[in-house]
Amino acid sequence: MEEACAGFTRFDFCQILDATENFSEKMIIGWGGFGRVYKGQLPGGLNVAIKRADEHAAMVEVNSELQLAKLQHANVIRLLGWCIHGKERILVYEFMQNGSLDRYLCDRRKGPLLHWSRRFKIITGLTEGIVYLHKHSMFWLVHRDLKPHNVLLDCNMIPKIADFGSARALSSDVAEERTSRVVGTSGYKAPEYASRGVYSLKTYVFSFGVLVLVIISGRKNTILDKRGDTVGDLVRDAWRTWKDQRLHELVDPLLGERYEAAEITRCAQVALLCSQEDPADRPTMTDVAAMLNSENISSPMEPKQPAALIHGCADIDTTSTYVGRSSRTIDIMITSSAPVSTTVRIILDPEV
């Protein structure tokens, strides 16, 4: 840990105790990937966020956080220093005055402060941060738990991607890895990751797509597992309103009519492209940045309809097929006016 933090301030444990009032519960401002986060004030008056690792935290989670030491971007939380004292492992970050994005999306009193221009700047800021993590940093980083709670806002409402305790580095921008320990939050996990533990940069793209839809709508994305759901109700509703040119119905009511319809349309379409079930259909974050900066998205870039739900799907008398290219499986769901639907999975190349 000390080697990974070389070049950053090493804080004395007594400084940490003073800053947090001996880790007082009233100083807790949140929970990170491997421990509690406290607000603290250093002797010079600087407010900081102090993350204290739980005793049971795996060292790999701490090391994942330490990868931040190598990251420097306006939209990525900045590590200031660290402290080791016995079993205590502590990281010190810049403090974000406006807290996490979810506090605004979930609080109807604070929600109006997130007018559309701010939401749009948050979306574009997150895009730039992820492009950096995917392309310009020293490695290809997959966050694995991108959600409103892990997007922090500074005094100017500039977004910062935070909590890298679950992050993993890839060997290349096209690499796929598999894990038996699936982490993250329901509603934001890509289908291939939630079901098979497969993750890549495209897994991050899916989470970003859902996050953008949440920012537009102020809604949560609920996964209906018992009905074979893979993307969530928000993604399906967003696709329907986009297809029927009714996106005004998706917009957070707190925005009223105070938004740019063209920007909403562009952001929603990009978000739907990002949240495609097949990772091969999702754009790269570099493509996302280009599309968000363009006035028009070319017509061929149209998101596919999400797969139908089992039992009572809204799309009657249809057959929907999803081909999972990375797993070489084909899921065929047959729905009709009858009360029973049938799902058939053909495995082309069984996993070992």
**224-271 pLDDT, tens digit each:** 888 889 999 999 999 999 999 999 999 999 998 899 999 999 999 999
pLDDT value of residue 129: 95
* DSSP for residue 312: S
Q: How many CA atoms lie within 13 A of 95 on its CB side?
A: 17
Domain boundaries for CATH 1.10.510.10 within the chain: 101-292
Q: Is 221 buried (19+), middle (13-18) or exposed (0-12) by CB count in 10 A? A: buried
51 is in an annotated binding site: yes
Going through 32-161 in order, the beta strands assigned E by DSSP cover 35-41, 47-53, 79-85, 88-94, 140-142, 151-153, 159-161
Q: Where in the chain is the domain with CATH 3.30.200.20?
A: 9-94
pLDDT in tens, 23-39: 999 999 988 667 899 99
Q: Measuring CA to CA, which residue among 298, 279, 299, 285 is closest to residue 124?
A: 285
Digit-coded pLDDT (tens) for 59-100: 666 666 766 667 889 999 998 988 989 888 899 999 999 999
140-174, pLDDT tens digit by residue?
888 889 999 999 999 999 999 998 877 788 878 88
CATH topology for the 9-94 domain: Phosphorylase Kinase; domain 1 (3.30.200)
Q: CA–CA separation, 108 vs 121, rounded Å?
A: 20
For the chain, what percentages of helix, strand and coil (3-state, to nearest 5) are there?
A: 35, 20, 45
Summarize pLDDT for 269-324 with one digit per residue, the tens.
999 999 999 999 999 999 999 999 887 665 447 899 998 888 654 443 333 333 33
Strands 140-142 and 168-170: antiparallel
Question: In whole angstroms, what is the distance from residue 313 CA to residue 290 CA?
Answer: 35
Superfamily of domain 101-292: Transferase(Phosphotransferase) domain 1 (1.10.510.10)
Output the pTM of the full model: 0.83
Q: Which residues are catalytic?
A: 145
What crossing angle do the helices spanning 233-243 and 201-217 adopt, rounded to 10°?
Answer: 70
Q: Provide the 8-state DSSP code for 100.
A: B
Residue 198: CA atoms inside 13 Å, Cβ hemisphere, count? 16
